[in-house]
Chains A and B, each alone.
Chain A
């Protein structure tokens, strides 16, 4: 069997599956990529038994074949050529010969019999959204996911699928981010609403793999697994077992004050103060109704102090509260609009950050107790 393609196409295909292959698994086959012909295309598969990625490479295909190669070996090799190089791949299992105009390399492959089978499942629910919309939404909520594994059920993002929306939610118990994506009305046979928890690692891979895409992405949800797929790639992942906390009660609806401030200016204030934050990462936010300004300051007995203000439209009472600057910044940076609303009630109750005039995103943050 012979396959001929441009280096950039092969490189793209490998980059999709590259990070999925297991690194230190006891089985060497898990750090391999499976290359095979599938419906007249050359297919690349990699898995670490939690995630399984599949992609296809464009090129000229003659005959059929199948082999497994160590992932690092082949990616390093291919990245050596410039994009327009024409590569000719000859399959003589377990060997693969790659020929260019002026070079020839032969790889010793692994036994494909040992390569895991990517599990198939019956989707119970399906939802389709534009890739860009999904990736943007994930970018907004992913910073809030709990990264340590003390509580597995919040170690991922909630995907709540209902008739015409997809709700993404993430929390680490200190802050909470929720994004609502409107979806096209689904087929009638998938009317049942689903609430599943997707591991955050899976979603980081989704962001990486599909970032170049412009088309729609389909999400199929099964009982234990889900699959993201576009015409160029697919990613299968396990779901996190357990029940996502009922977070609706956390989101406050009434506030003592509401401040509208330019998103970039607010982010700048926080970054400036962050330099002077103590080990607790604490910075102080003051809403000054009389001066019509937001003040952000930080004091560290060893470093010094910093204060800066930005003009703001304020309604309600003045407020002084402390926050972890990282958490605050994650929220502000998730705001896509020029202006944001910052609403709070007291120094010990949750505050809310949301885009001005865009109800689809909300970020709730708990303060640091002020001494």
Chain B
């Protein structure tokens, strides 16, 4: 007989001797949590119930239990975990609508949505993750990790551009592991935050504590690993923690905006470890996938978007899913105010201001600065006479970008970059242009630099 059956049987007898009101007041939400050597442990929802059962109903309960299970000698009572009522998402949404006017516009503390134990945000799930050719490798790898954490692909390294769903994938994996492997200790952390934690614990003298905390984790997820760049002490700690976890077959997942090779000033030993498991990339979604994303998001927001309008949005936001979602949010809130159904013309009208946003102005200075930062060089290195390979390539990229983005003349570019001859610049531009066509990695690099230039 299971504990539940035992308790149900006993309750059936108790119910006969009590009034309905008493029975409901004092015995609902009680369970048997343990039975050992004739001692039965009953869990009560609160202190009042515990006192009452102990002092008033103990004899009755003991008697009832003895009738079912003869060797019961004693009943003890504990305050159990309160049944935490988690309303269904639908109920929650309804409630929020009731409580507040359209809340889309009222910003909230994002940090509060995260689970304090794992740092994961429950809103990221695999159900809301749209898979297409651009991310199926990364998705499949994450699924494999979910099935066998720590053995199949360890570490998993996911990289891809801004706003393409790296964080979503990582967090969804974490959340899925939480629900499927309840006993595992999981921690999601951004490299930036990890670095801050390490630095402040070194200052505060609690580094050993931090190390121990991290070494107890079964699944460690480090987001935006490119921020480890240039932080040697932090890299050292990450390296040691990595080794400890890896040797114990604990799963580690990293993400970054570029492949391990392209992260500047990453120590060789850490780089080789990043590359030691599975490296999966997320590229740009094709039109069909973008359309699927628009439709999925519109359904989530209960926005009735017609096919033409959806196609319009999918066509105009190609390189960043986050921006695409932002555009959808804008349409959704506009629709709520105006109460019109969103046709293509309507969508076009309201998104015109974002889509036709004039290209932000930039300057040669900003371009040079962004390139130098990206490759972790100083601006002087780019301008001075060095001919080392590590410097020549970035310098050529800078020339290419100045030509492409600002349409500067070759002599002007040469002058800006340390008084070089215009033929040098022409050569560099031709070389990078050609490579740009052929080399996917270079395209990605240049795209990232452009993001830096325009996102300052």
Contacts and interface: CB of A to CB of B under 8 A. Distances in A.
Given A224-B79, A241-B81, A367 B47 contact: no
Interface string A235-247: 0101001111111
Interface residues of A, number: 52
B119 to A, nearest CB: 9
Nearest to B79: A224
A47 B46 CA distance: 13
B105 A171 contact: no
Contacts of B187: none
Interface in A321-362: 324, 348, 350
B92 interface: yes
B352 interface: no
A150 B96 contact: yes
Given A173-B112, A369-B106, 15 more contacts: A26-B24, A27-B25, A49-B46, A52-B48, A119-B46, A150-B87, A152-B85, A171-B112, A224-B79, A241-B82, A242-B84, A246-B116, A247-B111, A366-B106, A371-B333
Interface string A91-126: 000000000000000000000001011111100000
Contact of A366 (B21, B92, B108, B113): B108
Nearest to A366: B107
A81 interface: no
Contacts, number: 114
A171 B46 CA distance: 25
Given A173-B108, A350-B109, A225 B47 contact: yes
A348 B109 CA distance: 11
Given A47-B48, A50-B46, A368 B106 contact: yes
Contacts of B96: 148, 150
B109 to A, nearest CB: 5
5 contacts: A26-B24, A174-B108, A242-B84, A243-B116, A244-B116
Interface of B: 20-22, 24-25, 46-52, 55-56, 79, 81-82, 84-85, 87, 92, 95-96, 99, 101-102, 104-109, 111-114, 116-117, 333
A366 B105 CA distance: 11
B357 to A, nearest CB: 16
Interface centre among B56, B82, B85 (most CB of A within 10 A): B82
A26 B107 contact: no
A246 B25 CA distance: 35
A242 B22 CA distance: 29
A348 B106 CA distance: 10
A223 interface: yes
A26 B28 CA distance: 13
A116 B52 contact: yes
B107 A245 contact: no
Interface stretch (A37-45, A276-284, A286-294): A276-284
A247 B105 contact: no
Contacts of B20: 26
Nearest to B98: A148
A224 B81 CA distance: 9
Contacts of A366: 106-109
B109 A148 contact: no
Interface centre among B112, B117, B333 (most CB of A within 10 A): B112
For the complex of A and B, list the 5 residue pairs with the smallest distance between their C-beta atoms, beginning with the closest.
A119-B47, A26-B21, A117-B51, A366-B107, A173-B108
A174 to B, nearest CB: 5
Nearest to A249: B111
A339 to B, nearest CB: 26
A366 B107 CA distance: 6
Interface in A1-44: 25-27, 30
Given A26-B21, A117-B51, A245-B112, A150 B92 contact: yes
Contacts of B25: 25-27, 30, 49
Interface in A169-207: 171, 173-174, 176
Given A118-B51, A238-B47, A250-B112, A280 B106 contact: yes
A280 B109 CA distance: 18
Contacts of A149: 85, 87, 95
Given A121-B47, A366-B107, A279 B87 contact: no
Contact of B111 (A120, A121, A236, A250): A250
B48 A117 contact: yes
A369 B79 CA distance: 45
A243 B85 CA distance: 14
Contacts of A150: 87, 92, 95-96
Contacts of B56: 117
